[in-house]
Chain A
Amino acid sequence: QSVLTQPPSASGTPGQRVTISCSGSSSNIGSNTVNWYQQLPGTAPRVLIYNNNQRPSGVPDRFSGSKSGTSASLAISGLQSEDEADFYCAAWDDSVNGHVFGTGTKVTVL
């Protein structure tokens, strides 16, 4: 079972801003950095954000990440139809002694 909690779904119209939360604890988000992954339908995940707020080359700047305390957030500004996907947060957990993923959030573009 996931130790990082995300809302199961989020939605918005094209051009809107959508935010996804990721709630953890002191043993994971509270003491380690957060990464975010995007999984388009029928494909493998890809990293979207690493080290809380860094974007790999090729990721549009409308994706941004932040962290505060034991929670993290992913924001998508200027939502586009091709952003429909599942999004997962991830972090190292010092108690579990392993990588943990969030429960996942399905983003729908209305």
Chain B
Amino acid sequence: LQLQESGPGLVKPSETLSLTCTVSGGSIISRNYYWAWIRQPPGEGLEWIGSVFYSGSTYYTPSLNSRLTISVDTSKNQFALRLNSVTAADTAIYYCARETVATTNWFDPWGHGTLVTVSS
């Protein structure tokens, strides 16, 4: 299974960050997995953003909930991230990952990641 992020590498402040994750080598339709977005500011640690089930059910980190939409397109085997009203604090490497359902879900595999810079 492989995941690949795609989308603009530069977004202006106050605009919307949009990324897509394409899943290959397996179906996004599975009861055993969610599909997640995780980010990492340059030189910093990891932050879970949110996750989506193949049915479209989502759950988000509370700190981003008001600006965030994660959706799934099963016909394309893709899921997507939209983050509104971005600021410089949203500059990060954005990873997509498969999330295995368990007592504490875990993330594996991950995409290579894509750097998104918020700047005018």
Q: For residue B113, which residue of chain A has the nearest CB?
A: A44
Q: Quick one: which of A39-92 are within 8 Å of B by CB? A: 43-47, 50-51, 56, 88, 90-92
> Nearest A residue to B48 by beta-carbon distance?
A99
Closest CB-CB distance, A11 to chain B, in whole Å? 19
Q: Is the interface of A mostly helix, strand, loop or mixed?
A: strand
Report the minimal beta-carbon distance from A10 to chain B, rounded to whole angstroms. 16
A33 contacts B104, C-beta separation under 8 Å: yes
Q: A100 in the interface, Cβ–Cβ < 8 Å?
A: yes
| Contacts A34-B104, A35-B106; A2 near B111 (Cβ below 8 A) | no
Interface centre among A35, A51, A97 (most CB of B within 10 A): A35
Query: Assuming A98-B61, A100-B48, A101-B47, is B110 touching A33 (CB within 8 A)?
Result: no
Contact A90 B104 (CB under 8 A): yes
Q: Given known contacts A44-B95, A44-B110, is B104 in contact with A101 (CB within 8 Å)?
A: no
Chain A contacts of B107 at CB under 8 A? 35, 37, 45, 47, 90
- Residues 44-92 (chain B) with a chain A CB within 8 angstroms: 45-48, 59-62
